[in-house]
């Protein structure tokens, strides 16, 4: 292993290393603890299988698996997941370091990646953990691209029983600041298990929380403790539109966020289609503005005309 851990959380760590051919890759390792080695293997196999079936420009590619004990001296033998190294870091870090980047184009990348997960297969894949740290920036090509990663909590929609009970013992996990209301308190919404709270609509909710993160440069409920966030979610509250007086959220985007954060998940059914249409229009207009060197006043007038 050529470098120490780069990132990580409660479910594992990501390391950077170099292959024999000189390519930089990311090595994801779960639970570096012999007492949970069997559980780590089960989770790694499940994530590897899900990830290996995916191929899309806005999904981080899966390269394969390796024995961590053979590539890192002194490490426990366990399955690790290999992917190309995304040198732009995660999306929130990238937009903060590159404030002039077209954030809406990166948001469109994210929306397309999620649409692929939800429509590529007969049974949609529910990501279950969409947030800024799980969206990486690929700068290797001619343009900057956002790619979704981390499929450790992903589930096939068909894996939920008709009675609302999970068909496996895996518990739905995630981070409160991004999670849909019904995932935080499923019983309050007539849902009988954590797994059953996972849905396409909960992914939409989390997608728009991540949009908020990208457009404000702050995590949702910035400055609030986890306990305070939990209290806000109990009351069905959402983050404020502005954070520290800074936001890239226009009226159209804010309206979409409010729809996606509705406490009734059935009312979110068509939100991804609306989001894609909106972003495609904004990205097209931004590209046109850059080509024609339109100023802010002209841009506003064109937006007004576009609303007719």
Q: Please give the span between the terminal C-alpha atoms of the chain, in angstroms, as a whole number.
A: 58
Secondary element (H or E) of residue 9: strand 5-9
Tokens of 63: 């390269």
CA atoms of 194 and 175, how far apart (whole Å): 13
Question: Helix crossing, 271-292 with 200-216: angle to 10°?
Answer: 30
| DSSP class of 189 | G
CA atoms of 39 and 54, how far apart (whole Å): 23
The single residue listed with the structure tokens 């997608």 is: 207
* 237 φ/ψ angles, rounded to the nearest 5 degrees: -90, 150
Active site residue 109: no
- Select which of 5, 87, 102, 129 is catalytic: 129
Q: Are 276 and 207 in contact (CB under 8 A)?
A: no
3-state secondary structure at position 66? strand
Question: Longest Cα pair distance anywhere in the chain, in angstroms?
Answer: 66
Catalytic residues: 129
């Amino acid at each position: 292993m050529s470098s120490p851990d780069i990132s990580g959380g409660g479910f594992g760590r990501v390391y950077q290393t170099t292959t024999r051919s000189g390519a930089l890759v990311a090595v994801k390792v779960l639970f570096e603890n012999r007492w949970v080695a069997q559980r780590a293997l089960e989770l790694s196999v499940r994530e590897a299988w899900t990830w290996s079936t995916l191929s899309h420009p806005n999904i981080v590619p899966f390269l394969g698996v390796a024995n961590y004990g053979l590539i890192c001296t002194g490490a426990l033998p366990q399955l690790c997941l290999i992917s190309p190294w995304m040198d732009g870091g995660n999306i929130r870090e990238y937009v903060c370091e590159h404030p002039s980047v077209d954030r809406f184009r990166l948001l469109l990348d994210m929306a397309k990646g999620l649409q692929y997960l939800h429509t590529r297969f007969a049974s949609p894949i529910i990501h279950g953990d969409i947030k800024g740290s799980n969206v990486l920036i690929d700068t290797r090509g001619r343009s900057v691209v956002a790619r979704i990663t981390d499929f450790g909590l992903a589930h096939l929609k068909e894996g939920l029983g008709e009675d609302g009970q999970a068909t496996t013992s895996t518990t739905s996990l995630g981070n409160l600041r991004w999670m849909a209301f019904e995932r935080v308190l499923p019983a309050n919404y007539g849902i009988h298990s954590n797994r059953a709270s996972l849905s396409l609509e909960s992914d939409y909710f989390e997608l728009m929380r991540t949009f908020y993160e990208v457009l404000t440069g702050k995590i949702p409920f910035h400055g609030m403790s986890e306990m305070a966030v939990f209290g806000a979610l109990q009351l069905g509250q959402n983050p404020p539109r502005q954070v520290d007086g800074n936001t890239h959220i226009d009226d159209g985007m804010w309206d979409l966020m409010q729809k996606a954060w509705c406490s009734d998940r059935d009312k979110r059914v068509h939100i991804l289609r609306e989001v894609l249409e909106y972003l495609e229009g904004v990205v097209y207009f931004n590209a046109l503005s850059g080509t024609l060197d339109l100023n802010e006043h002209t841009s506003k007038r064109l937006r007004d005309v576009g609303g007719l």
